[in-house]
Chain A
Amino acid sequence: MFSESLRDFRRLGFRHVLLQVLNFASVIASGLMMWKGLGLITNTESPIVVVLSGSMEPAFYRGDLLFLTNPASEQYKTGDITIYRTGDRNGPDIPIVHRVIETHDMPLCAPESFAFTKPTRRQPKLPAQCTDKVPRQLMLTKGDNNYADDLELYRGLDWLERKHIVGKVKGFLPYIGYVTIAMNDFPQLKYALLGGLGLLALIQRE
């Protein structure tokens, strides 16, 4: 079988190989375009994510696929399931899928001291001019399967804010994402799959 395909390969020549490489590149490019286009429409950096942990069981299991949106004009609400990242100050920056259980919508242009980490009995002064379009929002999240809220996961932050949130879950598709988890757990599988696909693309006749 292999000697036959090798002979085919020699017969078809250099131009054919180039054409196949071009085809392969266009497939990858169109995939990337669809991904980025979807990201533009939904306003998130990753419109589709795979669930990696069991903290939202029994709703979402490892390997389920989630579709996200992040409309810029909409505030988050309690009950929304968000994907957030709090930055990698000490540890890996893993996106977390948890539900919002508290929202506190600040008045427009509320100053930084409005974060209420300290008590304020006096009415804080609002700045004379401000450029905020959307009010600041403080949030607290919790995994449905966890006993405590996420304060410990915020790495020193008191509240979650919009800038930490990648998007909220709109749609759900079970199991499909398990392929990527399997590929991460067994890297050999990933290389075998990629190598196989590349080889097939090169030696296929049409």
Chain B
Amino acid sequence: MHTLLSRVNNASAFMSSCMMTLLAAIAISSFFLGSQPTGEVGISPVKVFAAKGRRHYSGKQDAAFVNFNVTADLAPLFHWNTKQLFVSLEAEYTNMHGVQNTVVIWDKIIRRKQDAQLHIEGGKNKYAFREVSTSFKDVSPASYALKYNLMPYVGVLQYGEIARTSDDVPFPEAQAKVAS
């Protein structure tokens, strides 16, 4: 009955169930910790150029260039179960064919509470911002939103929105690249 093997078995089973309970408690606690962060997004007038297309398509495809200002205080999202924050600036618009587009133009990973204050002025889009139908002509003005994804040490991933532009930003007429 009380062999070494059964003792080891019992002890390790008890330890692993304690561990699981603790992990579950931590995972559940993160639903109650943390509060809504505050921030602001400002977009300067967007520029559109006729550029080289995406792969497989050799023709021209419009590329938009966005300058933005972002201020945000993300410290409220940091608690004991916050491993990192993934913050992204996204453009949302509908094109002339009725296709709804959401495109991430900039992102940042924040790992420490000390770095949770964002002050970005004159930021540029990090990823190419192209329209699937190749042209931004007759496309509805875009709304820009700053969003976060909280990634925990253990538990459920949480998503949310920090700020959004109050007015939609229109796309201008495409200009040919000026040789400088």
Interface residues of A (CB under 8 A from B): 58-59, 77-79, 81, 99, 101-107, 110, 114, 116-121, 123-124, 138, 142, 144, 149, 151, 158, 169-174
- Give Cα A195–Cα B56 distance, bound, in whole angstroms: 52
CB pair B59 A119 closer than 8 Å: yes
- Give Cα A124–Cα B96 distance, bound, in whole angstroms: 11
CB pair B152 A78 closer than 8 Å: no
CB pair A171 B57 closer than 8 Å: no
Residues of chain A within 8 A (CB-CB) of B102 are: 77-78, 102-103
Within 8 A of A (CB), among B143-174: 147, 149, 151-157, 159
CB pair A78 B133 closer than 8 Å: no
CB pair A107 B101 closer than 8 Å: no
- Give Cα A105–Cα B94 distance, bound, in whole angstroms: 9
Residues of chain B within 8 A (CB-CB) of A116 are: 132-134
CB pair B56 A117 closer than 8 Å: yes
CB pair A79 B88 closer than 8 Å: yes
Residues of chain A within 8 A (CB-CB) of B23 are: 173
Residues of chain B within 8 A (CB-CB) of A114 are: 97, 99
Q: Which of B61, B83, B101, B156 contacts A171 (CB 8 A)?
A: B156
Known contacts A116-B132, A169-B157: does B55 contact A78 (CB below 8 Å)?
no
B103 within 8 A of A: yes
B109 within 8 A of A: yes
Known contacts A58-B111, A79-B159, A149-B127: does B151 contact A138 (CB below 8 Å)?
no
CB pair B109 A171 closer than 8 Å: no
CB pair A117 B152 closer than 8 Å: no
Shortest beta-carbon distance from A67 to chain B in Å: 9
Shortest beta-carbon distance from B104 to chain A in Å: 4
CB pair A104 B154 closer than 8 Å: no
Residues of chain A within 8 A (CB-CB) of B155 are: 171-172
- Give Cα A62–Cα B23 distance, bound, in whole angstroms: 20
Q: List 30 A-B contacts (CB under 8 A).
A: A59-B83, A77-B159, A78-B88, A78-B90, A78-B102, A78-B103, A78-B104, A79-B104, A101-B88, A101-B104, A102-B102, A102-B104, A103-B100, A103-B101, A104-B99, A105-B101, A107-B97, A110-B99, A116-B133, A118-B57, A119-B57, A119-B59, A119-B135, A120-B133, A151-B55, A170-B157, A172-B151, A172-B152, A172-B157, A173-B154
Residues of chain A within 8 A (CB-CB) of B133 are: 116, 119-121
List the 8 shortest-distance A-B pairs measured between CB atoms, nearest first.
A119-B134, A101-B104, A116-B132, A105-B100, A107-B98, A78-B102, A103-B102, A59-B151
- Give Cα A117–Cα B149 distance, bound, in whole angstroms: 31
B31 within 8 A of A: no
B80 within 8 A of A: no
- Give Cα A81–Cα B90 distance, bound, in whole angstroms: 16
Shortest beta-carbon distance from B143 to chain A in Å: 13
B119 within 8 A of A: no
CB pair B147 A104 closer than 8 Å: no
B86 within 8 A of A: yes
